Chain A
């Protein structure tokens, strides 16, 4: 079982090949807006380093977001085309899941925070039965963190559980605000956990394929995190009153 993983959801472009033993090769770059220029040569490089041809792959994994639109479209389009052309299934994961998977477990709650730009972040709130993706202003996240601390305090869990770990570029960008949001203050992941690491995506994907959590490439779509169904209420566009 060999998987090629593609990560372009945020500021990094990453490609990795992994099998059941773990990552075999990976390449990561921060190309600014040049995701389309960087991704495909990286795929060729990673295959060369891992000494395989694309035809020897068994599945394609891709981070479907949320994150930055431009990169997301580049990565998802490439994953769909590769899988289609090679006759392979696709494994998808959200950027928040990948970030969370990259963190050490057992120390305390991990909340991944992705920077959506223009004063918005996406985060994954620990909740049962499944974690809940939220998108909003950093202040809303701060409020949720305060509530979380309060709940933990009421349940007498504050001691011994350890502080909340905040990772992702959104956490780093709004560190000042989020630091003051809860007591004890959250711990922040470093820049290595600013973007979802592609190796973590690859490892997640290996596990997912074992569980049969694959899909057809045609059904894969980015998870943008921003939906706005409203019709534009035009007043200036139509000029002349209808004349018969």
Chain B
């Protein structure tokens, strides 16, 4: 690896096709995410909205865009010096968790790029990538921190001790927090994705009007949201006159209560210097406000990354790839995708 430590990251685990170039795991040179909106613009709305075949068609254009943002052509050479050396030191891709058909596109693309350029390939755990999101925007961050990762597919509490060294403290035992938001929103007829809709509607509702359950779990730092979802449906069936605003506000209150309370408890237990939000649900305004307030009260730093860094992106994959390459070297080319990859404690 050159001193610049330039890693091209590729992310295709779920709906987004993304590519980014990051230096030494800390400095984002360029980060491209092809949201489905872009996809429709490019293909005139004739392709499916989600995952699957879209990645095959988008991976190369998205990588090309990311390389261009770093001043490189499609061949990885500088625009100024097309005959010069490849300006990428390693290629990292998400190997899991995710949908197999989606993951394989990113893995196959990344391994082929690494082969073509003669640079190392690194297979990255998507969830580990999320741990570095806050760091990429706040280089001054002091570790250890507790990371609350809340997205459509995951809800995790992790202690980040150093890059590449972390402990999993808890996880959801059924539905992810983001899934609960989306399902309740659609049930209330608010459309999809539902997180932003609940967030907006909750502003005009009374959060104390309905006392939804705060589920207890066997593990102190685990979460459960399936019962809450069912409780919302039961309540609305029994109270047909209740307003969507009151349901949204009360539901959101229940979710935020549990998420923040467990993060605070975890931060206290591990003696964290601060706490970070990560994942798509980190865009929720009520969660952000409460998170900042609660940690402020305790004299701890809270890190609230931008929406672009919270949602799935490839910059975090490139960062994770860099740290992994430093610690444990490249991933062999006979590695495949691991759809059910878990985040496990790593020291």
Contact = CB atoms under 8 A, between A and B. Distances in A.
B302 to A, nearest CB: 35
Nearest to A72: B56
A214 interface: no
Contacts of A221: 53, 56-57
A53 B86 CA distance: 15
B335 A237 contact: no
A81 B337 contact: no
A87 interface: yes
A136 B36 CA distance: 31
Interface stretch (A40-48, A162-170, A205-213): A40-48
Given A41-B333, A240-B236, A85 B112 contact: yes
B189 A240 contact: yes
B64 interface: yes
Nearest to A6: B112
Contacts of B336: 34, 36-37
A218 interface: yes
Interface of B: 53, 55-57, 59-61, 63-64, 74-76, 100-101, 104-105, 107-113, 115-118, 186-189, 233, 236, 243-244, 332-337
Contacts of B233: 239
Nearest to A57: B116
Given A40-B108, A80-B60, A81-B59, A238 B116 contact: no
Contacts of B188: 239-240, 243
Contact of A43 (B61, B115, B117, B186): B115
B61 A81 contact: no
A36 B110 CA distance: 11
Contact of A87 (B61, B75, B105, B333): B75
A239 B64 contact: no
A80 B59 contact: yes
B116 A86 contact: yes
Secondary structure type dominating chain A contacts: helix
B101 A77 contact: no
Nearest to A222: B56
Given A54-B115, A239-B188, A74 B63 contact: no
Nearest to A76: B56
B334 A40 contact: yes
Nearest to B12: A77
A237 B187 CA distance: 7
Given A84-B63, A84-B74, A85-B74, A77 B115 contact: no
Contacts of B76: 85
Interface in A220-236: 221-222, 224
A176 interface: no
A43 to B, nearest CB: 6
B74 A77 contact: no
A141 B301 CA distance: 68
| Residue among B104, B113, B186, B332 facing the most chain A CB atoms (10 A cut-off) | B104
Interface residues of A, number: 41
B31 to A, nearest CB: 19
B101 A82 contact: no
| Residue among A34, A87, A238, A243 facing the most chain B CB atoms (10 A cut-off) | A243
B333 A78 contact: no
A55 B337 CA distance: 27
A74 B104 contact: yes
A39 to B, nearest CB: 7
Contact of A44 (B61, B63, B333): B333
A81 B56 contact: no
A70 interface: yes
Given A34-B336, A70-B100, A239-B186, A81 B109 contact: yes
21 contacts: A36-B337, A40-B111, A41-B334, A43-B112, A70-B100, A73-B108, A74-B104, A77-B59, A77-B109, A80-B56, A81-B113, A84-B63, A85-B74, A85-B75, A85-B116, A86-B116, A218-B61, A218-B64, A238-B187, A239-B233, A240-B187
A73 B61 CA distance: 16
Contacts of B186: 237-239
A36 B101 CA distance: 11
Given A40-B112, A87-B74, 13 more contacts: A36-B336, A37-B336, A38-B334, A40-B108, A40-B111, A40-B334, A43-B115, A55-B116, A73-B105, A85-B76, A85-B117, A238-B189, A239-B187
A225 B161 CA distance: 50
Given A78-B108, A242-B189, A44 B101 contact: no
